[in-house]
A and B are shown apart, each in its own frame.
Chain A
């Protein structure tokens, strides 16, 4: 055999080897990648008493003993979940056993033993290296599709369903229809699950983040995702650092806002300089150097190795001296915000009284203005998102609309006003509305709105209110005059 022959043979063998490796890898995904069909309630916050549903399909990965991992999106309001293996064929009834919308992770199982036959767990990577390419795997028309996606960067950003920042892998691809928990893989291991796609950038929740949460959960130690509740600005301006009497080299990020939480004494003060967070030095851009992922925003240190309730040591500069304080990570809860970003624990709440529709101001309501809601939704309602809840007003109640009835003549066009008081009682929740409406004064209910240039007061006849409510329920086919969830405090 001459050299050329030997070379050709070895090339052919190499190609065959590559093909067989890829084929084997594809086959292994076939036995761990499954399809979820989720039927969910997609509420119409403009008509909170209605409960429209729709169905979506997404991906899941078998990762352990009868456990399918997927993202949390679309699952919090599910009414039916089914699983399918092999990209086609029978659907198996399934149950959500755990989900955390803040982490955007969920575990699903099926009690049907036949579903698990032939399936085997995929392996989550411990570390995801910065390599040029990953493979994105998905079921498409009954066939397994494996496509190359380009690595872009590791970054820190808010979760798809959460205000809590976390490590995110960004990959670039022109593939469409992504963000449905398709696994991104490297060398046969799961590097992460897609969560969303904007333009050509696809966000991926990375495997190490998933692993840590799942392991803690199995050990009973997962207490939710933590986050830093303070606001900081980069220490890029040396004059500002000098003004704060910082010795030595320019470094650190400057705390500018510390929220006041009931019963919590914050260890930080505005104008503290964050020098180290969890042992990592912070540079003037507010970054630290992660041993695995390089320069990352300090926010990542709230979830890199800690969970809610755990303490993170902070080395700070205060009043011309270095100081170490222990910061306890608050749990990311939607109701920590005056205008909650999501409300999953119950259907939209409302109270209808004499045709006046009261609702809590929540971001899903604002998102009802469509994709461009940040521009199109009423400015004043949006601006409340910059305010903090207080014990007196943990949330905001609005008169969202009026269902016309003879009892509310003159108020038909009143809408989108935040309620301050009803019958001289401060209103912060819908429970307050219900309680206040039990105490009319001088034969009328007095609804007062927040001070401003808009309408301030309306009155409703107390004696005829209930009759008017019943009339409205019948005329507008409402199932009930109210739907209330658990009391606001303690909601997650």
Chain B
């Protein structure tokens, strides 16, 4: 199965030295029938898409796989090793930020005779690993041996705006292996999840650290997600800057350059604080820590606790060392700037005007046209406003996604792709404000104001209300809203 732009797979090995006698029976094939929504026509969905992925049985009679394997799934079928029967499965837990999911199978007999796989430790660089799964190119299980090339924090393509620890291997890449286990001495040391187009012999798997974090997270019956510190940590390698802060040039300490508005870090830390240690590990002047012999971004230290827990920090402030317990939590504020999953897009339709929350998925429907003033305003609002003008951030900016043609709206010049500022004088902070603002107007036309160069438009109050039902019927839309 393909992740958005990246591909995961494993190629067959003719001569396989791994004793996979028991492991292969724990590896399952997953067939997903999914239907993603159309974000600029949010009541509609794309055609049903069939895709294959892989998974493996873990303790508790459950299957682990990638979140992107089962995203937007309408039906999930799983197949055992060399067993032709498909079994119905359902999602028990999904962590889209770490691209992991746990499935349950409706028929408990599915697990008969299958031993769950155990997890191992983070493999060392240059050690050999074997990935298994059901990549395209055949129906049977496939194995690929590779070397651990490097271990780093990488962008996880499935969420789009999250970076976690990942392991790179030189395994060949074919579609369909996503969610399959990466084994070392019969223990799972990773879950294959993505590759990079154009980069040869580079596949990536999710390491045990991330897998265990996900499993521990769901222990309480719900998934919270990986925490974020809200700290912009930058290298501190300029000699003058180090001298100014009273630090010797010993390669230790990275500088706090910015703090996310409203975060706990903003209250406990200051700009120009220097992070000397995080979670007991020295922080290098390039912002990395030495974790199990791998130089990786210190962000992994802030992602290690569960949401709501704390990280112990040693900070250099005013030429003195201070210790701080920094609580970290999952951050939801940039959710719309990442890829959306499983929850159909919200919308509200009135008089043919379709309002929907501004999201990265909606912006993708605009193609590459970001240069004109209206589109530019949308991009700025989603990706830059929070960092530059946090005081003006709207919890859920609303876009006029499109207009369904009808005589009541035929004279409107704006036909979509516009960011809504106010309706009837009411500031639109979230989608629910749209119906509220329309309902609050006792008389006269509805006045809709936009950002950028889009000006404003008026809509006849009575006529637009009357037209909505007809528009729903004409365009085959079952409801005027999904809030």
Give A residues with C-beta under 8 Å from B.
Answer: 231, 233-234, 236-240, 242-243, 254, 256-257, 374-375, 379-380, 382-383, 386, 406-411, 442-444, 450-461, 464
Contacts and interface: CB of A to CB of B under 8 A. Distances in A.
Contacts of A233: 413, 455
B257 A457 contact: yes
Interface string B210-250: 00000000000000000000001011111111011000000
A383 B379 contact: yes
Contacts of B447: 243
Interface of B: 232, 234-241, 243-244, 257-258, 271-272, 368, 370-371, 373, 376-377, 379-380, 383-384, 386-389, 411-413, 444-445, 447, 452-453, 455-460
B455 A408 contact: no
A243 B458 contact: yes
A410 B235 contact: yes
Contact of A458 (B241, B411, B457, B458): B241
A55 to B, nearest CB: 32
A374 B244 CA distance: 41
Contacts of A457: 257, 271-272
B258 to A, nearest CB: 5
A134 to B, nearest CB: 33
25 contacts: A231-B453, A231-B455, A233-B413, A233-B455, A242-B445, A242-B458, A243-B444, A254-B455, A256-B453, A375-B370, A380-B384, A408-B238, A410-B235, A410-B238, A450-B388, A452-B387, A456-B232, A457-B257, A457-B272, A458-B238, A459-B238, A459-B240, A459-B241, A461-B239, A461-B240
A250 to B, nearest CB: 9
Contact of A386 (B238, B240, B373, B388): B373
A411 B238 contact: yes
B235 A256 contact: no
A386 B445 CA distance: 30
A233 to B, nearest CB: 4
B244 A443 contact: yes
Contacts of A443: 244
A455 B240 contact: no
A256 B455 contact: yes
Contacts of A243: 444-445, 447, 458
B29 to A, nearest CB: 41
B387 A407 contact: no
Nearest to B389: A451
Given A237-B413, A243-B445, A457-B257, A383 B376 contact: yes
Contacts of B243: 461
Given A242-B445, A254-B455, A451-B389, 9 more contacts: A233-B413, A379-B383, A386-B377, A409-B239, A410-B236, A410-B241, A444-B241, A454-B387, A456-B271
A461 B243 CA distance: 9
A444 B244 contact: yes
Contacts of B458: 237, 239-240, 242-243
B237 A379 contact: no
A237 B457 contact: yes
Contacts of B452: 386
A256 B257 contact: no
A456 B258 contact: yes
A317 to B, nearest CB: 15
B403 to A, nearest CB: 12
B240 A444 contact: yes
Given A236-B413, A457-B271, A382 B444 contact: no
A461 B235 CA distance: 17
A467 to B, nearest CB: 13
The 6 closest A-B pairs by CB, nearest first: A410-B237, A461-B240, A453-B387, A256-B455, A410-B238, A374-B371
A456 B257 contact: yes
Nearest to B390: A451
Nearest to B272: A457
